[in-house]
Structure 1
């Protein structure tokens, strides 16, 4: 992805206008590799996200809400110690590299000035956030500790001397443009070759941006003007997501037919681009244990279901054992001790002869009793296996529902799902507090939406929220929706007579928060809440209903985003 040196420069240009001169009012670390500084500038609060994620490293102003963890990390505590109420005095870039330096002015415990530097290095798996004492050039702390055993040339540990990342032997396009001009004086290569020449000559230019610059240089007119005009777009960016072999974000202005989505700012652009990708990644990481438990139990129950079905199929032979036992009893006088088999006429099947195996170790009457015992055993097994089949199928249905919720979950939904799995016995129960009692954790709040005509709509994101929403919160006359015969969320329209538009929008939410999220023409049932019933002993989230109607919709992320509160 092209969060290269050029995009870093454009982002710094945007941040200089919005947050430089502001003060740090809050510091949180919602995820292991990401820090958020809330900066109050120009009478506004800006959430500045500093990410050292190996795949999604970046610096931006974000509008996505994050939950502050109850226990702060050591790095968070260090940042709070030094940066709370500090003034952001400037932001600079290291050459044209993916390194941004945030300068802060603050004072130490004695009241002396303490200039600090926060370095954000956007370098894939080597990305880092480093707090530096600018006077002593000493590292105060880093979000990722890199010891001598990991990197002999550049140690990133508290107390170590800070060293900038190794300088590349490439030119800064904003300082020296002569290299590319000299090459163009000799030849006018193809677009791809020219893009490669640009990358080999200049620092911090991703392939997508190199191709864009190559197109600019191929345009008719003065080469110098075209080159400098393209680079100066950082001052007036055009934030957009562009269709390519893989979609990518950029600040360059592309032709309309290539544009997939536009944004008002680079921060909004990155929110749009990374939200689903980063959220999915965080859920996979933080919910790894939950995914593993659910997958393990699904495999176990699928194997159990297969064995039960095989056993049930075998029990269909029960009647044949009964018939053989009755025939042996009827024709007992024909059987001699020591025989291993006998053919007898089957009066249940037009007197056709049937071969019956015998044990030569027991008497004829005991051979007959042996077949009656087999019959009785299989007959008893039918009832047991049928009951077990029902239990196993319900278990599978429940686990598949939880699996769907994990796939659709956001990080803040995971504690509810974990609590539910603990209550259902799939995970060890939560730890007791000092008084020996279990902590009572309340389920999170359902997602809230407002329809285009102002009607409130609620969406349960997991089974605990679904039960709370449908069985306790909703009014009897409210409208309940769910994707038909598909695992998904409960949706409530808080109105007894919603408009057709509201009904359609709520149905889209039900389809979007279901296993059929990526499908079209999804059937969604809707009915009044008073027609919903939860059977005794049913698993969380399971309900039955009657008198429903069905509507067909195609979920659209853009339309749903417009409904979010």
Structure 2
């Protein structure tokens, strides 16, 4: 069941019961299209997540932690100015549509009462969050600005008059009606067509919800009773997470009629249900969204380095053929008296291949001896360049390995990890740091590695980015503890907090190291392990880069342990 008008109805009922009368204490915008308001109500702090993300738009109370960006957005600053300290008067739904109206009561700058309305539109790519002055009807700000170049009728810009989205010509299902009864009589033998007609007739009815309504109507002897029972599902929901035989999950406000071959998990609230459903889906999307600039920088640097490598490889290929220039110089020097001045080429006996004379190209404006010298100069330059080119190729290859490691870390990262990856690239000079005039830049602390436990309870730490890896390997870990890393590919630093772990613990830590690496999807991954004291970080090396000796290697299948 998607987040349609009926699910919105149930969620609004839950939020109104929980948050009405509460006071906004904090407003944050951890992700570009999402905001979080901390509301103190009934002696509890609730984090209200309002998302206009086109893939996962919703409104709910969340317990999933988030990390704020170093510099708050203009939208976040505006919301803090108007909403912090405001009372939540009401959470309401506009008819049975996917529009939620939050009404706040606060004081303006002069201390006079001020009523604010936040309109949350849960409409896929058209989703938005807009704060409006209730008295004037003017928009204070919107999380997504929509100008006249996008929509000439409905501007969503500060100072513009707020206009409701176009209303669909469908009936509000919570008003008295007999539409369902007429449709069942007409289409009782065609459940699929009945569901389509119900969806076309009522507001807020997604295809899955319409199919469930059709099934309940057809299974009952009393149509009015079945219809009212269906509506009551959203007044007193029993949230469930449904997993089908293909391991795909969906959420619903109540258990569907047909649950054969389905795994059903119950939750106390709709918000807890959405946290469970979105914990991986939304986190992955948020990570990619936050990592947009990082990915662009990394891909651009990788392309530059790959072009460099092709250039160096061509130079090495030319240097490998340097002897052809030496031979031509030697032949010109040996047979100098046979070389006519002003000639464009000459054919001379070749003492390296007596059966085949060699034709040599000349520059007619140079003397024969100068032509010979030019060939020797070219030969010497190519031979001398080999050492330099090899050095530059080694440096460039290290940089390619570094950026491939960054890409691998982003694939495995949480949103909080992306900020540290960005910070690392700023420290390395790949991303320019933003500084606001007159404000001291807030230092981002390096977060702690992820903690896991082996079967015997031994703690295993896993670094999720290079800054964490360096701190874990050279500051957190003791010298006799065991360090692990996948062999010859990007991956996390892993430390077993024990100087003499069991073979089973080493195996489980190796499986973790393989899981948090580029080889996660492989069946067999080689993992090196050794005491931390055998690690070394070369001077000037990039974050996360280490050298080591005395390692042992084992092959494992990647597997994530419970935290």
**In terms of mean alpha carbon deviation, does 456-465 or 212-221 score higher?**
212-221
The whole-number CA distance in structure 1 between the counterparts of 2:407 and 2:358 is 51
C-alpha displacement of 1:47: 1.0
Provide the residue aligned with 1:387 in structure 2: 391
Q: Hey, what does 1:308 align to over in structure 2?
A: 312
How far does residue 476 in structure 1 lie from its aligned partner after superposition?
0.7
Q: What corresponds to 2:545 in structure 1?
A: 542
Structure-to-structure mapping, 1:70-469, within 5 angstroms: 72=72, 75-76=75-76, 79-80=79-80, 83-104=83-104, 117-132=117-132, 136=135, 138-139=137-138, 141-144=140-143, 164-176=164-176, 178-219=178-219, 221-234=221-234, 235-243=236-244, 248-254=250-256, 255=259, 257-259=261-263, 263-326=267-330, 340-342=345-347, 344=349, 346=351, 351-357=354-360, 359=362, 361=364, 368-428=372-432, 441=443, 443-451=445-453, 453-469=456-472
Residues 328-377 of structure 1: per-residue CA shift (max 9 Å, x gap): 55566776767744353545x6x543524253846665555444333323
Matched, 1:523 2:526: yes
In 2, the alpha carbon distance for the partners of 1:111 and 1:272 equals 42
Change (3 A) 1:442 1:23: closer
Q: Which deviates more, 240-249 or 289-298?
A: 240-249
CA distance in 2, matches of 1:329, 1:117: 92
- SS of residue paired to 2:233: helix
1:108-154: per-residue Cα shift (whole Å, max 9, x none)? Answer: 788887665443221234333344565x3745734345567765655
Task: State the distance in 1 between where 2:313 and 2:285 align.
Answer: 38
Q: Which moved more, 1:10-19 or 1:354-363?
A: 354-363
| Residue 497 (str. 1) matches residue 500 (str. 2) | yes
Q: 1:45 to 1:456 in 2, by over 3 A?
A: farther
How far is 1:285 from its partner? 3.9
Question: C-alpha distance in 2, partners of 1:84/1:160?
Answer: 23
Matched, 1:473 2:476: yes
Alpha carbons 1:511, 1:522 under 8 Å: kept = yes
TM-score by length of 1: 0.84
**3-state secondary structure, aligned to 1:353:** coil
After superposition, the Cα gap between the structure-2 partners of 1:91 and 1:328, relative to the gap in structure 1 and judged at 3 Å, is: closer
Match of 2:56 in 1: 56
Q: CA deviation at 1:513?
A: 3.0
Work out the CA distance in 1 between the residues paired with 2:553 and 2:492.
Answer: 17
Answer whether contact 2:525 2:558 (CA < 8 A) is retained. yes
Q: Contact 1:448–1:459 (CA<8 Å) still a contact in 2?
A: yes
More divergent stretch after superposition (275-284 vs 54-63): 275-284
C-alpha distance in structure 2 between counterparts of 1:154 and 1:357, whole Å: 76
CA contact (8 A) 1:337 1:360 kept: no
How far did residue 58 of structure 1 move?
0.9
Do 2:478 and 2:532's aligned partners in 1 also have CA atoms closer than 8 Å? yes
Q: Distance in 2 between matches of 1:9 and 1:267?
A: 13
CA contact 1:241–1:260 (8 Å) conserved in 2:
yes
Distance across 2 between alignment mates of 1:534 and 1:81: 47
CA contact (8 A) 2:514 2:527 kept: yes
Say if 1:262 and 1:535 are closer, same or farther in 2 by CA, change over 3 A. farther
Q: Structure 1 residues 508 and 115, CA, compared in 2 at 3 Å: closer, same or farther? A: farther
C-alpha distance in 2 between matches for 1:238 and 1:249 = 8
What SS class does the counterpart of residue 425 from structure 1 fall into?
Answer: coil
1:408-431 CA-to-partner distances (Å, cap 9, x unmatched) read: 333333343333323333234665
Q: Give how far 1:540 is off.
A: 1.9
Matched with 1:482 is 485
**Pair 1:373–1:32, CA change in 2 (3 A):** closer
CA distance, structure 2, for counterparts of residue 371 and residue 286 of structure 1: 55
Describe the SS at the equivalent of 2:356. Answer: strand
Query: Does the Cα contact within 8 Å between 2:526 and 2:553 map onto a contact in 1?
Result: no
What is the alpha-carbon distance in structure 1 between the residues aligned to residue 532 and residue 36 of structure 2? 41
- Tell me, in whole angstroms, the C-alpha distance in 2 between the residues paired with 1:22 and 1:506: 46
SS in 2 for 1:26: strand
Indicate if the aligned counterparts of 2:329 and 2:372 stay in contact, CA closer than 8 A. Answer: yes
Cα distance in 2, alignment partners of residues 451 and 324 from structure 1:
69
Larger displacement relative to structure 2 (471-480 or 272-281): 272-281
2:383 and 2:120 mapped to 1: Cα distance? 71
**Kindly tell me: are residues 21 and 224 of structure 1, through their superposed partners in 2, closer, same or farther at Cα, counting changes over 3 Å?**
same
Tell which deviates more after alignment, 57-66 or 524-533.
524-533
Give unmatched runs, 5+ long, in structure 1. none
Query: Is 1:555 aligned with 2:554?
Result: no
CA distances 1:379-427 after superposition (whole Å, capped 9, x unpaired): 1122222222212211211122223233433333334333332333323
* TM-score calculated relative to the size of structure 2: 0.84
CA contact (8 A) 1:463 1:540 kept: yes
1: CA distance between counterparts of 2:181 and 2:131?
A: 40
